[in-house]
Amino acid sequence: MEQNNQTSLPDHIDHRPDWDTYFLRITQLIAQRSTCLRRQVGAVIVKDKRILATGYNGAPNGVPHCFQKPGGCLREARGIPSGERQELCRGLHAEQNAILQAAAFGVSLKESVLYCTHQPCVTCAKMLINAGVKRIVFLGSYPDGLSLELLKEGNIVLERKEID
């Protein structure tokens, strides 16, 4: 019996997202777990189209989140602009939490891809370079030119994408 290759595919198969879109949409879901009062960020680290680790921004395990502290976000209370004085933040960045999750479970990130809702900051950029990430795909910008410079010098492919 001969199969007809001309049959039309179901609509959901015709509209399957490409891999970058798929993983970027997952970062948006992960970001919904964020406890940051300023910016909700999600990250997923992938190798060979398989998820290795995820992370979102928020306080370290067992430490109160900003919304649980009197006065809330210290950076907000002091009027500190985004991208500056990160040492005054209680939270870890999504990328940092993803790297730490991989480390906690003994997962190597060499030759991996980071998908993130935002461009990494300079601290995260340095960590991602040393972790062996080779490509970063992100949705939104972040005010950190030094990060972009270091990622370029570290031979990391950096791609900003837009998705529906």
For every one of its 164 residues, what pLDDT tens digit does the chain have, with 9 covering 90 and above? Answer: 445 556 788 877 778 999 999 999 999 999 999 999 999 999 999 999 999 999 999 999 999 998 998 989 999 899 998 888 888 899 999 999 999 999 999 999 999 999 999 999 999 999 999 999 999 999 998 888 999 999 999 999 999 999 98
Among the listed residues 2, 84, 95, 162, the single catalytic one is 95
Q: Is the separation of the CB atoms in 33 and 117 below 8 Å? A: no
For 117, the enclosing helix (H) or strand (E) is: strand 113-118
Q: Each residue of 39-50: b (16+ CB within 10 Å) or e?
A: bbbbbbbbbeee
pLDDT at position 142 is 86
Cα dist from 42 to 6, 68, 154, whole Å: 41, 21, 23
- Say whether 153 is catalytic: no
Tokens of 79: 């009027």
pTM: 0.90
pLDDT at position 4 is 52
Closest CA to 31 of 138, 132, 129, 159: 138
As a dihedral over the C-alpha atoms of residue 144, residue 114, residue 62, residue 68, rounded to 10 degrees, the angle is 50
Label residue 101 left, alpha or beta by phi (over 0 means left) and psi (-120 to 50 means alpha).
alpha
pLDDT at position 51 is 98
For 75, the enclosing helix (H) or strand (E) is: helix 74-77
CA–CA gap between residue 44 and residue 97 (Å, rounded): 10
